[in-house]
Amino acid sequence: AKIEFSADFDWGTASSGPQSEGSADKPHESLWEYWYAKDPERFYQQVGPKITCDSYHRYKEDVAIMKELGLKSFRTSIQWSRLIKDLETGEPDEKAVAFYNDYINEMIAAGVEPVMNLFHFDTPIALEHEYGGFKNKHVAELFVKFATTAFTLFGDRVKRWITFNEPVAHAKGAYLYDFIYPNEVNTRSYTQANYNILLAHAGSVEAYHKLNLDGEIGIVVDLLPPIPRSQNSGDLLAAEVFDLFTNRIFMDPCVKGEYADQYLELLEKHNCNFEYTSEELELIKNNTVDFIGINYYQPQRVKAPARLPNINDVFMPDWYFDNYEMPNRRMNVHRGWEIYPKTIYDIAMRVKNEYGNIKWYVSENGMGVHDEDRFKDETGMICDDYRIEFIQEHLQWLNKAIQEGSNCQGYHLWTFVDNWSWTNAYKNRYGYVSLDLKTRNRTIKKSGYWIKEVIANNGFE
Ligand code: BGP
């Protein structure tokens, strides 16, 4: 039977500024650019974000391919460290304004809706050095200035805005698990930075709505329903705490206007509360989102932790949970991630049942594979049948959810053109379009031609 989607279903792809543009002409260094220069050893094959897809120079080519494939929208991000010349006032850089204007106009002319995100892990490094990044509320205020500048400059044409991509992933890496600069391990910093990011988000939503532009604003989060190993109380508690610290920490305040009581109680119990005022809580309450983007790659299986914390240890959320590897699970061996498409259905049902069936879309989903050149045919096209299968299976579950009333409006593959990634550089390839690292030339993969057909037919057999 045909798996059919509505004619207005939003078929798109997602990338980000820091992973696709390259560093040319930027007035400020971002966290990742700085950190790469300082400690290249941490990066896969010592490759940094200087060139990436070179989309700063080659965006017209990208947009032409989007048009050829019939893709309806494209999420990328406006880099704070590119757009803003004066970080304190929010005054923009002229070259950057010209670049983003042209990029956006090019997409619109091609019938591709630009979806603009404002943060993809890329704080200007000066704000880390000067203020300690998002641990400091002043940085949240500066973010709102940056966001307001972006809305004012481009809000007449950009109709879908996103404040942050996966804020928890950023905060976890920076303040809990030591893989993002400044590599602190401190749960207090983690909860405060998350809260301050929430303030930056809510302040931006408020600023956007005040401008009365004709468009919508949301946030991109993980909403991974954790799957407990068993129904015993330890495993269930593990799932609950994981859920509070990684999913509900943003979903609840962004959609419902307030934190879950259980989350606040845990912070209290472990003495890692954040500092807040009642005005700020009002701001959060009054500025919930218009829609949600959810990124999904692999399920989160959890169990009660094997080890007990030492009495002198500083509290870490994972006192409560460990990862659990399902025996005989299906793996994407390249990325080391489990393949489990049903979770996309569980996410959809969770949004429907627990978050008022708010409008949402899959803002990232995809399969990272190494050395895809192996799969080239005689014409030079990468035959990525594994990716087609992966996407198909996820779309089947998504479609079932939509049949059952989920308000899911679209599906964005990560990614469009294979791009650079944080500490993995070009190891994991995700795109509908491949990137030649010597020439930066783009070639459509088999999955690209496949999605073109899917879009043209509103579905697949
Ligand atoms: C998501 C990020 C993306 C991207 C993707 C793939 O969490 O939002 O920026 O990097 O993961 O991950 P990786 O490149 O590490 O395989």
Nearest CA to ligand 1 atom 10: 421
What's the mean pLDDT in 372-381? 98
pLDDT tens per residue across span 387-437: 999 999 999 999 999 999 999 999 999 999 999 999 999 999 999 999 999
Q: Is the ipTM of this complex over 0.85?
A: yes
CATH of the domain at 292: 3.20.20.80
Q: Is pLDDT at 363 greater than 80 in this prediction?
A: yes
pLDDT tens per residue across span 226-258: 999 999 999 999 999 999 999 999 999 999 999
Query: pLDDT class for 308, splitting at 50, 70, 90?
Result: confident
Ligand 1 atom closest to 366 (CA): 6
Beta-bridge mates of residue 364: 295
Structure tokens at 318: 């994972």
Q: What is the pTM of this model?
A: 0.98
392 CB-contact burial (10 Å; exposed 0-12 / middle 13-18 / buried 19+): middle
Residue 86 carries which DSSP code? Answer: E
* Total of domains in the chain: 1
- Which one of 166, 240, 280, 372 is the catalytic residue? 166
What's the mean pLDDT in 299-317? 89
Share of the chain above pLDDT 70, in %: 100
Is residue 364 part of the annotated active site? The answer reads yes
Q: Is pLDDT at 276 greater than 80 in this prediction?
A: yes
Interval between CA 94 and ligand 1 midpoint (Å): 30
What's the mean pLDDT in 265-269? 96
Contacts of 379 by beta carbon, 8 Å cutoff, 6+ apart: none
- Which one of 106, 128, 364, 372 is the catalytic residue? 364
For residue 305, cis peptide bond before it (omega within 30 degrees of 0): no
Nearest CA to ligand 1 atom 4: 421
Q: Check if 166 has its Cβ closer than 6 Å to any atom of ligand 1.
A: yes
Q: Check if 136 has its Cβ closer than 6 Å to any atom of ligand 1.
A: no
Interval between CA 338 and ligand 1 midpoint (Å): 15
pLDDT at 223: 87
Residues 381, 386, 387, 390: what is their CA dihedral angle, to the nearest 10 degrees?
160
Nearest CA to ligand 1 atom 12: 421
Q: Is pLDDT at 311 greater than 80 in this prediction?
A: no
Q: Is pLDDT at 314 greater than 90 in this prediction?
A: no
Ligand 1 atom closest to 222 (CA): 7
Structure tokens at 441: 């030339």
Could you tell me the residue range of the domain that residue 332 belongs to? 3-460
pLDDT at 312: 79
Q: Is pLDDT at 87 greater than 90 in this prediction?
A: yes
Q: Check if 428 has its Cβ closer than 6 Å to any atom of ligand 1.
A: yes
What's the mean pLDDT in 92-102? 98
Q: Check if 335 has its Cβ closer than 6 Å to any atom of ligand 1.
A: yes
Phi/psi of residue 372, nearest 5 degrees: -70, -15
Q: Is pLDDT at 332 greater than 90 in this prediction?
A: yes
pLDDT tens per residue across span 438-453: 999 999 999 999 999 9
Query: pLDDT class for 307, splitting at 50, 70, 90?
Result: confident
Q: Which residue has the higher pLDDT, 78 or 307?
A: 78
Interval between CA 415 and ligand 1 midpoint (Å): 9
Ligand 1 atom closest to 421 (CA): 14
Q: Check if 368 has its Cβ closer than 6 Å to any atom of ligand 1.
A: yes
